[in-house]
A = this chain, B = another copy of it.
Amino acid sequence: MNTKSKKIHLIIKNIFKKHSLSSNHANICANALINAELVGAPSHGLSRLKMYCDRINKKIINPKPKIKIKKISQSIAHIDANNSIGFVAADIGIKKAISNAKKTGIGLVGIKNSGHYGLSGYYAEQAVKKNLITMCFTNAPPAIAPHGAKKSLFGTNPICFGTPTASKIPFILDTSVSVINRGKIRVAARTNKKIPEGAALDKFGKPTTDAKKALAGIQLPIAGFRGSGLAWMVDILSGVLTGGNHGGKVKDPFDDFSGPQNIGHLFIAIKPNLFIGNYNERIKENIKRIKRLPKIKGVKEILYPGQNKHRRYKKNLNKKINIPTNIAKDLKKLNF
């Protein structure tokens, strides 16, 4: 982090502390929000800060949660996050999955009573940095219509997978099963920009490129019934299995203050040398083979998931974080 980012980190941390979070929890939240900005995902960064504070003020995020970790086996744990802010629950969860995997080869952690935790890739990266393969699942408020339905029910429900690569840049696939991320639509709505065609329908079921109409309407899943099925899988793994809300019951954090979100997450971590002794060599060879394929016109390099994000991160580390005027105003108000 450069001096400017550090300053913003401190402001965010202070804001969370002023909203009753412990210094440690405030730090976890500030780390996650700054990371989102640095990897080029502002939709999951500062633009959400006011929302989190609003939810704390309305007592539907618990700033002083009593998080219970239930040990089910050496490998498996269940966490009741007590309506903590999602960042904190997820931070504890992924650390537990990591330590269980280190001990037994596999770690499986289910979390309930959590909230929106930002980017799945951020947690996957933590596991990968500890030399583990990982899968992270979370559900989210209704945004995508199940195949055949004309009403949203699934969240954008990302599928996230990470693996060490024997290089400094981890392989992190973090793909929502919507054509574009809801966060991006939200940013487009805030900044009055259009969204791509084919990504959403308005509330009457008609295709739209108007971000506000898309937010009120239906986002489309990738690949029809396939994407719809993947979203359903994520809802089951992160919601039905863990004890979290599911089946469209996760509240929109921006629009619905009638109660806590009770989002569920599921983290899996696996030792890469579990079956074979030379995973590092193998993954290196795998990536090498793919990178040296003939490229289509205009493509300079075949990138693995996470590489682009890492490049943005490196670049942004030395730049000032861009804060839109409306968010700057929020920051001032929140840092009372």
Contacts and interface: CB of A to CB of B under 8 A. Distances in A.
A247 B270 CA distance: 21
A146 B279 contact: no
Interface in A266-293: 268, 270, 272, 274-276, 279, 282-283, 285-286, 288-290, 293
A303 interface: yes
A229 B274 contact: no
23 contacts: A78-B275, A110-B274, A112-B276, A147-B302, A148-B303, A149-B290, A149-B295, A150-B295, A153-B293, A161-B236, A163-B236, A171-B232, A236-B286, A240-B286, A241-B274, A241-B279, A242-B275, A246-B282, A247-B285, A247-B288, A248-B289, A248-B290, A249-B289
Nearest to A273: B241
Nearest to A228: B305
A320 interface: no
Contact of A226 (B150, B222, B243): B222
A179 B290 contact: no
Interface of A: 72-73, 75-76, 78, 104-106, 108, 110, 112, 133, 145-151, 153, 159, 161, 163, 171, 173, 175, 177, 179, 205, 222-223, 225-227, 229-230, 232-233, 235-237, 239-243, 246-249, 268, 270, 272, 274-276, 279, 282-283, 285-286, 288-290, 293-296, 299, 301-305
Contacts of A222: 222-223, 226-227
A223 B233 contact: no
A289 B72 CA distance: 30
A175 B30 CA distance: 38
Given A241-B275, A299-B148, A104 B78 contact: no
